[in-house]
Structure 1
Amino acid sequence: MGGGESTPADPPKIHFGQPWRDVKTVYLKNYTFLNSYKPGHPDVKNLRILLHGPVGAGKSSFINSVQSALRDRVAISAQTDAIATGCSFTRKYETYEIKKDDGSYFSFIFNDIMGLEEKTDMGVKVEDVKLALNGHVSKGYQFKSDLEIQENDKYYNSSPTLNDKVHVLVSVIPAGSVSILSDGVVKKMREVRLAASEMGIPQLAILTKIDEACPEVNTNMDKVYGSIYLKELVDKFSVLLGISPNCIFLVRNYHEEIDTNDDMNALILTAVKQMIYFGEDFVDKL
């Protein structure tokens, strides 16, 4: 045997710690809340939630995942692209309502937009996002990378009502991309956030694709908020974009499953419930 000194083994890395947010027991409670929710303001028929973020962030997939969680079956209404092209698959300003089993609709809607890109002449124009926040962009508008919507466009709403305006802005980012977001995308997202802040619109963020960023949660989906690595990503993103950690939520979108999962549903509906709370506070002040 050799006479050299033995090197002590590295201590095992602790991947999961004390959960910093409890969502395991709230799936049915959140569903009940969302199912019965009605906006308190008489001029608001549906609470409007606008999703924005870089290309491939999972905005459309999140809308599908919310629908799946609420209908307890995998559902697809927002079209997505499984091939990473680097260009936004969503080109139009889309509005999504979610239908209940009885034929009525949930009282909140999602707006999906073209993704943000690094270059100034690619992706959705920041000015278009600002106009959408104020309700000036109508469903069906085809985004242009080189020109914002014009006042003479048939999709330009010159006299938006409170119901047309956005009530909650949600930043959507893939968890694994937090550390590598380009300066150009971050600048655009902060510009949109600043515009929303000036309008008084509340803001949240969701980190998607948590299973890709932290594969361990695939078999520990109920321990997502105990992941030390995911908590580090939340804190990094908070500093990067200036969103408080208690306004950042972790989700895994449905993309390969054919059945719903209670743990995934709990993550998704927890985020949506908070969007509703923030949006309701906003319209209540008006």
Structure 2
Amino acid sequence: LFKPVSRCYTMKSGHRGALLETEDLQYVQEYRPENGDIKHLRILLYGPVGGGKSSFINSVSTVMRGRTTIPAAASATTSDTSFTRQEEETQRHFTRSSSMMMGLEEGSDSGVRADDIKLAMKGHVIEDHKFNPACPLSDEDPGYNQTPSPDDRVHVLVCVISANSSEIKEPILQKMSSIRETLISVSAGIPQMAIVTNIDTACGEIEKDLKNVYKSKHLRKKMKDFSSAVGIPMNCICPVKNYSDEIEIDDDVDSLILSALRLMIHFGDDFIEDM
């Protein structure tokens, strides 16, 4: 049911590929939750710093608008410190969805805490709340939502990681494991998936031609290793290339991003229906 059929066009070219891309774009643009109590499909992006969370949101905006845009602050350098210091609530004009970005760092006093992500998943974090890495959110803080509605909850949890990462450090894995335990024990089946970014710089064959993405043994091994490390199935992991140095839109880049977006909507829509 969840097989992202739209991925097929990333291996093709010509009229058929353009048709499928148009269908995916229209699907994402026109999606609306059928549940009347939910206005937005809320997607939480989290992962190690430098994974490409802000760049992915920028890339989504570029795809949807058909031109390059920079709606979310993104760092052009690699750093061990989270560039995104707050929850970025991006209400889109093009679809009834919103996203939050949270960077995981080593140590309990840096990056967003796993406990704060758990609260966000359950809808206890108000919009535009600025997290303090040194102090977790409590029910006495003004940023705490005492009575979250179904519309306040996170409907899809998406881990974002760079294909250039040689390995995920143990402290980060521990935080990610804690988040997964919350999904199982508390959060009543919130679907989770993953996005692997920077696939072009991680593999020379993909850099030559993005259509080689599903032919690359190197990338497949990376995805398998990541799947084993965090427990996310391979068919729930989407490789993407974020817009970075392009000044014009690229059909192959758009195809992968739209494929990931459609899968997010599928997962989130089914979760909302179960709610």
Distance in 1, Cα, partners of 2:35 & 2:169: 39
3-state SS of paired residue (2:141): coil
Equivalent AA in structure 1 for residue 170 of structure 2: D
Cα deviation, residue 97, structure 1:
2.1
3-state SS of paired residue (1:96): coil
Cα deviation, residue 61, structure 1:
0.6
| Comparing 262-271 and 148-157, the one that deviates more | 148-157
1:190 is aligned to 177
Contact 1:22 1:225 in 2 (8 A): no
Q: How does 1:154-173 map to 2 (within 5 A)?
A: 154-173=142-161
Distance in 2, Cα, partners of 1:197 & 1:117: 23
TM normalised by structure 1 equals 0.87
Larger radius of gyration: 1
Distance in 2, Cα, partners of 1:230 & 1:224: 8
Residues 1:235 and 2:224 aligned together: yes
2:67 is aligned to 73
1:205 is aligned to 194
3-state SS of paired residue (1:111): strand
3-state SS of paired residue (2:211): helix
1:96 is aligned to 90
| Comparing 255-264 and 134-143, the one that deviates more | 134-143
Deviations 1:68-94 (A, max 9, x none): 111111111110111223211111111
Identify which of 15, 24, 34 aligns with 1:30. Answer: 24
Deviations 1:42-88 (A, max 9, x none): 11101000000011111011011111111111111110111223211
TM normalised by structure 2 equals 0.91
1:3 is aligned to none
3-state SS of paired residue (1:283): helix
Identify which of 9, 34, 38 aligns with 1:40. Answer: 34
RMSD (Å) for aligned C-alpha atoms? 1.2
Deviations 1:190-227 (A, max 9, x none): 21122123311000000011112113212211221111
Aligned length: 259
Cα deviation, residue 235, structure 1:
1.0
Contact 1:23 1:267 in 2 (8 A): no
Cα deviation, residue 108, structure 1:
1.1
3-state SS of paired residue (2:89): strand
Contact 2:49 2:79 in 1 (8 A): no
Distance in 2, Cα, partners of 1:91 & 1:131: 17
Contact 1:169 1:196 in 2 (8 A): no
In structure 1, the gaps of 5 or more residues are 1-20, 101-105
In structure 2, the gaps of 5 or more residues are 1-6, 11-16
Deviations 1:5-52 (A, max 9, x none): xxxxxxxxxxxxxxxx52423321210111121101111101000000
Q: How does 1:49-64 map to 2 (within 5 A)?
A: 49-64=43-58
2:106 is aligned to 118
3-state SS of paired residue (1:53): strand
Distance in 2, Cα, partners of 1:190 & 1:23: 34
Contact 2:210 2:252 in 1 (8 A): yes
Equivalent AA in structure 2 for residue 180 of structure 1: E
